Amino acid sequence: MKRFRPYRISQEIRDQYADVQIEISDFIYPYFVTEGENVKQAIPSMSGIYRFSIDELLRDMEELTVVGIDKVLLFGVIDDASKDERGSAGFSPENIISRTVKAIKARFPQTLVFTDVCLCEYTSHGHCGLLHNHDVDNDSTLPLLAEMAYQHALAGADFVAPSAMMDGQVEAIRQRLDQEGLSTKILAYSAKYASAFYGPFRDAAGSAPSFGDRKTYQMDFRTKNQGLEEIAADVEEGADWIMVKPAMSYLDMLYRASQQFADYPLVAYQVSGEYSMLKNGAAQGFFNEERIFFESLTAIKRAGANYIISYYAKDFARL
Ligand code: PBG
């Protein structure tokens, strides 16, 4: 008989044998930014998460810095009246994300700023690219994504993070940044699945598609190797960091990506639905909130993620 229980006899011994450690520096904290002043609007589908105007976001970031989180990912939320077919508000020089990046960099120069690059938050139809004959057209979307990435980079973003799942988006952005002489890095949402777990986010960002779904561009979760092919393509096109999204139901893909692309920092996105599921379950008394998040975030790290985007990051760091 092999005895395992000696590894578990006390908290200290268990700590000694723990292979996986979560560090505060692993976390990237997502923020939803909206127009106005003094806005801190609770998001009903995501308990504990808010839409902030820039001034309030800076105030919230004080807390973030205190607990040691030094990476943020920004999403823009604009009202329907400001949206159009092309998502122009997302890539105009005065777009909300560029203004936010400048404000963050002025106040928190040490914080790494990642910006989401996608059209769905800014188009009147809520799809991630331009429409043509009622479907999302790949190639005509690329210059718009490149323009958005350029604007974010110009404002001082450290990483632009294309999430539209258009083929060639990383290459288009890389070329544009090179042309402009910008050395901004690219975090590619490489293996991004068409997932029901994004439900709460679409509420939060007002980015639900007005018709159809995202299955013609986001990945089919019934595939196995395609995710690795997507990552390989992004690496080829010039991605600096790569991502698997969602995280908790895709630990196998995280593990395989970490094995096959060991040289590339791997990011896992614990998405809105994963967050809300745990958060609401805990609120209802089904499980202990701290413990359930500790366990799920550890599993994501154990599977091979180097960084984790999580709405729980601030609470986790506080504990
Ligand atoms: C698209 C984008 C989405 C998320 C991140 N970027 C929504 C989507 O693809 O439908 C989802 C994140 C989450 O659910 O937390 N800009």
Round to whole Å and give the CA distance between 271 and 96.
22
* Counted domains in the chain: 1
Mean pLDDT of 9-17: 98
The chain-wide mean pLDDT, for the chain, equals 97
Mean pLDDT of 233-244: 98
Question: To test the ligand 1 pocket, which listed residue (117, 152, 207) has its Cβ within 8 A of the most ligand atoms?
Answer: 207
Active site residue 40: no
Active site residue 192: yes
CATH code, 81? 3.20.20.70
pLDDT, tens digit (0-9, with 9 covering 90-100), for 19-78: 999 999 999 999 999 999 999 999 999 999 999 999 999 999 999 999 999 999 999 999
For residue 82, the enclosing domain spans: 21-318
Residue 168 included in any domain:
yes
pLDDT, tens digit (0-9, with 9 covering 90-100), for 99-143: 999 999 999 999 999 999 999 999 999 999 999 988 999 999 999
Q: 74 with 114: CB under 8 angstroms?
A: yes
Round to whole Å and give the CA distance between 146 and 157.
14
Residue 16 included in any domain:
no
Question: To test the ligand 1 pocket, which listed residue (29, 96, 118) has its Cβ within 8 A of the most ligand atoms?
Answer: 118
Encoded tokens for 68: 């040691």
Ligand 1 closest atom vs CA 197: 14
Q: 86 with 144: CB under 8 angstroms?
A: yes
Could you tell me the pLDDT band of residue 203, with boundaries at 50, 70 and 90? confident
Report CA(201)–ligand 1 centroid distance (Å): 6
Beta strands, E only, the chain = 27-34, 40-42, 50-52, 71-77, 112-117, 130-132, 135-137, 159-162, 185-192, 241-245, 266-270, 307-310
Residue 15 included in any domain:
no
Q: In the Cβ-directed half-sphere of 244, how many Cα atoms lie within 13 Å?
A: 32
Residue 260 included in any domain:
yes
17's enclosing H/E stretch is helix 11-17
Mean pLDDT of 238-245: 98
Mean pLDDT of 162-175: 98
Round to whole Å and give the CA distance between 159 and 152.
9
Residue 11 included in any domain:
no
Q: Please work out, in degrees rounded to the nearest 5, the angle formed at the alpha carbon of residue 278 by the alpha carbons of 53 and 127.
A: 50
Q: Which of 192, 279, 301, 314 is flagged as catalytic?
A: 192
Mean pLDDT of 195-201: 97
Q: Which of 88-97, 166-175, 197-206, 271-280 has the lowest mean pLDDT?
A: 197-206
Output the pLDDT for position 49. 98
Residue 119 included in any domain:
yes
